[in-house]
Amino acid sequence: MARKSSGKKITALTAYDAPFARLVDHAGIDIVLVGDTVGVVVQGGDSTLPVTMAQMGYHTQIVARAVRRALVVGDMPFLSYQVSVAEAVRNAGRLLQAGAAAVKLEGGVRMVDRIEALVQADIPVMAHIGLTPQSIHRMGGYRVQGRDAPDALLADAARVAAAGAFCIVLEGIPMDQAARITASVPIPTIGIGAGPHCDGQVLVLHDLLGLSTRRPRFARPYANFSGLASEAFAHFKRDVESGRFPSEDESYR
């Protein structure tokens, strides 16, 4: 709330392992999201749908070990909260036991009872509306949301805020809609493919580092780790084949 009123933008990045989580935290990023995007950028899948609670608990645990100051948010995977309120509370609690300080779940008005129950159980909730990747089959793929029914997004935002969410991820919506939502709710909005008018921004780590095979339009690559890694691997291969590695200094006597 204070960050929203102050106008200082919130920064968030995903992380799925300890080395990258440590680097993200050291850079001063505000929120480290252990995203179910692990199913795509780490596991090599086509969607986030196959990701399990056990996998999210594992990745949350190893990320939380490395983070000292940022807020660690654990993503609730498909079917971990949709089945019932009781299941939602139980599984969110498992992510907190793994080291998360908050959880994220997808959906607006339809998920209000889940958000209310989690907040009642002292589990902070980050909401997520707009393009919700766990609903890609209903949405017909990864499509920009809100162009045809902008008032529905406003209603989603208002309801999840009233239910007790501490912030809202706005994904894949027109920037004018994101601006309207941001101005209409008392809690911060975190954009991803939602334009510059949100209270903060989140990106998938692999998109930012140039490691993704399919980078979305909204993700700016700030580095080319893929190129650096390929060059290093090729250099290693040449050195081994030529006998330049290992040297005497890299060997034991």
Report residue 159 CA to chain centroid gap.
21
What is the Cα–Cα distance from 74 to 102, expressed in whole angstroms?
6
CA geometry: angle at 172 spanning 73 and 177, to 5°?
105
> What's phi and psi for 59, nearest 5 deg?
-70, -35
Given the residues 116, 171, 231, 250, the one annotated as active site: 171
Query: Can 171 be counted among the known catalytic residues?
Result: yes
Answer yes or no: are the C-beta atoms of 57 and 95 closer than 8 Å.
yes
Q: What is the token pair recorded at 89?
A: 């509370």
Report residue 220 CA to chain centroid gap.
16
Q: Which residues are catalytic?
A: 171
